[in-house]
Each structure stands twice: as structure tokens, then as C-alpha cells.
Amino acid sequence: MGKKPKTLPILCDKYGRWKGKLEKYLQTDQKITLLALGNVKFEVLRHIHRRKDIEILNLETRYMKKREKGTGLKVTVRKRRQPKPIQNE
């Protein structure tokens, strides 16, 4: 009963409070699941894309049961072991 969950969930809101939780959870070196609805999902993807120390493990999108809520985003991330090298083209 005292086991920790395999992934730590974060519900992303439009006010950006999830960014602080993400930083805190990244220090634990566990998998983190970010959940977002509406236009917030674009901000979540933009934030993850800018950060080269975050690795995307899984990305899912789907319509919510109530269609007026739109499309939901579920991203599982973790801290990258080695920073991604910058590619010069």
C-alpha cells in the first residue's frame, strides 16, 4: 500500500501553475504525465519542445466524452539522461 505511483500526474491549467510542479517532479527522476484540455495543450507542447532536458516518452490525444470540452492531451515525460545535442543543418 505504501508504493509510489509509476507516473506522477499534473493537470495543466491556463495560469501556468503546472510549470512549478513539473520542475519539482523532474528533480525526482520519475515519469510525469501532463494532462491538458483546450488551448492549454499548445502551451504544454511549446514548453516541452523548448526544454532540451525533457524527453517525451508517450503522447496521446483524444476527444473528451463531452465533445464541447474539445481534444485532450496526455503527455508522459521524464528528465533526459543526457541533454539532446544541437544539430547543425
The pTM assigned to this predicted structure is: 0.77
- Give the pairing of strands 31-37 and 54-63: unpaired
**Mean per-residue pLDDT for 6-10?**
84
pLDDT digits (tens, 9 = 90+) for 19-65: 999 999 988 888 999 999 888 989 999 999 998 889 999 999 988 77
Burial tier of 29 (Cβ tally within 10 Å: 0-12, 13-18, 19+)? exposed
pLDDT of residue 72: 87
pLDDT of residue 83: 56
Q: For each of the domains in the chain, give its residue range(s) and CATH number, in order of start.
A: 7-79 (3.30.110.20)
pLDDT of residue 85: 63
Return d(Cα 69, Cα 5) in angstroms, integer: 27
